[in-house]
Amino acid sequence: MCRRVSFNDVLHIKVNVKQIGKTTCTLEYNVTKNEVEKIVSNAIETLAFINCETRRPVRTPPEIIALSEN
């Protein structure tokens, strides 16, 4: 889904936590313009948590899990 936006349009981005797994978190983004509730764009992103040194998956951090409880 995509609608036209212009350079001077004010965009609002709402982020929803869709799912939190053992090692991943899925977010949904909805973009609206000029405070109108019609969605002009949307996206879904899945983040994977990894150990930087071993590049192996690690458990979802407690701070992220707490986001879904609010």
- Return averaged pLDDT per consecutive 10 residues of the chain, 70 residues in all: 77 91 95 82 95 96 82
* DSSP-derived 3-state class of residue 67: helix
Q: What is the pLDDT of residue 15?
A: 92
Contact, 26 vs 18, CB < 8 A?
A: yes
- Report the C-alpha gap between 21 and 42 in whole angstroms: 22
Do the domain assignments include residue 47? Answer: yes
Contact 40, 32 (CB under 8 A): yes
Distance CA 16, CA 23 (A): 18
Inside any domain, residue 57: yes
Specify the pairing of strand 24-33 against strand 39-48.
antiparallel
Domain interval for residue 39: 11-69
**What's residue 70's pLDDT?**
62
- Assess if residue 23 is contained within a domain: yes
pLDDT at residue 2, rounded to an integer:
61
Instruction: Tell me, yes or no, whether 5 lies in a domain.
Output: no
